[in-house]
Structure 1
């Protein structure tokens, strides 16, 4: 994709609200009590693995592609980190091509092959400005692994696209820090991040929902969680 004015961050407004509504209706965004990798009890959980049929995955790819085009982030190819990132990046590459932005696509294996083409990389050679596509970022560990792999291949890890920015404090050595994983990737690793929606968009959806008392209770719990663990934009 050619250079455009960079507009880092999540896609706002109607697109984000449509995505949150879609994720809730698809059962991918759920409410209750869920333990996070950081050991926190979260009142909501986003599981992109539940985009588990062709229609859902195709619609998800549309959201990614629309958010990317709206962000203005320029990139030369897409990369899907194993395992969840592989179908995400593949379907987004198809949707981008449908919209007139055909770019190469690659992904990695967890284990290197010792036959055939060998190695851990599959697809187009890594080159130019690489966009990494994944579902969410918790600690930034997967991002660092992908970045190292891309740099080792002689390409530039340029940006990341994720479905949901949880906007909460990351943990380092078991302790909360004052930045989120997304802020770490932007500020420390120097990469742009495009999120289809953020926790703020989820809160807006819950506050405006016509789901009555139940949605009001979800909103109160998610808001309390953000007040405790959230980060400043």
Structure 2
């Protein structure tokens, strides 16, 4: 260490080599000596381009005492002017946490660690008592199951946002950063809003499919710093690791330059842009949107087909969709939701669970037995409901559902859909004194699919012409 507080040193290194690249050392060798040799080869090749190195302790620990010895030797092999992060995701209390901190900083010689905040601030305190040592707190991770807990609603905000806000008060020194995955740029933007000055350690680029440009644009501070992008396998498995590291460093440098140029862009604009990119990818990945030649119910042949019923088979995507609906619904006044059968029923269920609000739904056909209900679920006449549906085309199906809801005394003012196809629904509903709200419009999605390469220019023009008919 050079005596500076950890993040001051990290920033000094980032400026010195004009790099935001953290080279991940996750060796897969089977013996301690082979681990050491693999890491030394990568260090020698990539050190000129690395802002920092991050070692995953698990791959050393599994080799026992010899592996731990190799871990310490690898850290000593890293040039003294480059910060070293030990990735162990520690989190315990009292003497156990103190012992973990001493092992990481004193025995191994690491300069920073990754920590699990699940046990609260007291479990992290022993790691944060040294201003020259840093800690990256797990906030929004890059794994597929991250949203199971990290996206839970906590008083109107997501749990990971609460962690980002709380982490800023866990140390009297500026030595706390956050781990936020590149696989969710919209979440990255929200974390940056919650913690505008903190450094973010960003895994998930490369093998996990994170979009480097989207992640940097979402997470970088206006000064073009504040994000440390960890890349492991894409460098280690490259034919020429040095060239791979240099290319990554140069790509990040170019993106950071663009971010500095448009630093004044509002948070709301950035968040919407990255949420749109995420939704566009989700719809392609789940095949909720397909391109080709499809005969619609009307008999018309369409170059695009939207099937949001498929969301029910993709729970992670369905949850993100529910969160997008919830962002709009929180701006409206209502007593309960009303889903339109059948495609919107899984969606309204997910939204109701996300927001902890009740819902009803109008039947396609009234029951001719039992209660002969027109609307299923509990409600009281005079309550206000918001209609939730998947798509908006002409608005006819919405008006039919609204008529049934109003026939039992429910009040309707607003309709919320995921996608407005832009084919007249908003106008038709407005003429009947209803307001249509859409998470996104189909023309907006087309622009994003073209930008991302999901469709080519010819397909874009074909669909655009079809929608304009």
Question: What TM-score bracket applies, with the shorter chain setting the length?
Answer: 0.7 to 0.9
SS in 1 for 2:349: helix
Show the counterpart of 1:210. Answer: 453
In the TM superposition, residue 42 of structure 1 has moved relative to its aligned partner by 2.2
Residues in 1 aligned to 2:410 and 2:463: alpha-carbon distance in whole angstroms: 39
In the TM superposition, residue 38 of structure 1 has moved relative to its aligned partner by 4.4
Structure number with the higher strand fraction is 1
Residues 1:184 and 1:17: Cα distance change in structure 2 (over 3 Å): farther
Residues 1:139 and 1:220: Cα distance change in structure 2 (over 3 Å): closer
What residue ranges of structure 2 are gaps of 5+ in the alignment? 1-270
Residues in 2 aligned to 1:138 and 1:204: alpha-carbon distance in whole angstroms: 19
Q: Which has the higher contact order (CA 8 A, sep 6+)?
A: 1
Show the counterpart of 1:85. Answer: 344
Show the counterpart of 2:280. Answer: 20
**Where does 1:132-211 land on structure 2 (aligned, <5 Å)?**
132-168=387-423, 180-186=424-430, 188-211=431-454
Given that 2:291 and 2:303 are in contact with CA atoms closer than 8 Å, whether structure 1 keeps it comes out as yes
Task: Give a deviation string over 1:83-116, Cα, whole Å, max 9, x none.
Answer: 223222222111112xxxxx33111333434555
After TM superposition, the score normalised by the length of structure 2 is 0.39
SS in 2 for 1:52: helix
Given that 2:375 and 2:404 are in contact with CA atoms closer than 8 Å, whether structure 1 keeps it comes out as no
Structure number with the higher helix fraction is 2
1:76 corresponds to 2:317: no
**Where does 1:3-152 land on structure 2 (aligned, <5 Å)?**
13-53=273-313, 54-69=315-330, 72-97=331-356, 103-113=357-367, 116-126=370-380, 127-152=382-407
After TM superposition, the score normalised by the length of structure 1 is 0.74
SS in 2 for 1:124: coil
Given that 1:79 and 1:105 are in contact with CA atoms closer than 8 Å, whether structure 2 keeps it comes out as yes
Larger Rg: 2
In the TM superposition, residue 153 of structure 1 has moved relative to its aligned partner by 1.4
How many pairs are equivalent? 197
Residues in 2 aligned to 1:48 and 1:210: alpha-carbon distance in whole angstroms: 22
SS in 1 for 2:317: helix
Task: Give a deviation string over 1:114-159, Cα, whole Å, max 9, x none.
Answer: 5554423221215422111111123322211111112111121111
SS in 2 for 1:164: strand
Task: Give a deviation string over 1:4-61, Cα, whole Å, max 9, x none.
Answer: xxxxxxx953323321221111110111122334443322111011113233333322
Given that 1:158 and 1:191 are in contact with CA atoms closer than 8 Å, whether structure 2 keeps it comes out as yes
Given that 2:277 and 2:448 are in contact with CA atoms closer than 8 Å, whether structure 1 keeps it comes out as yes
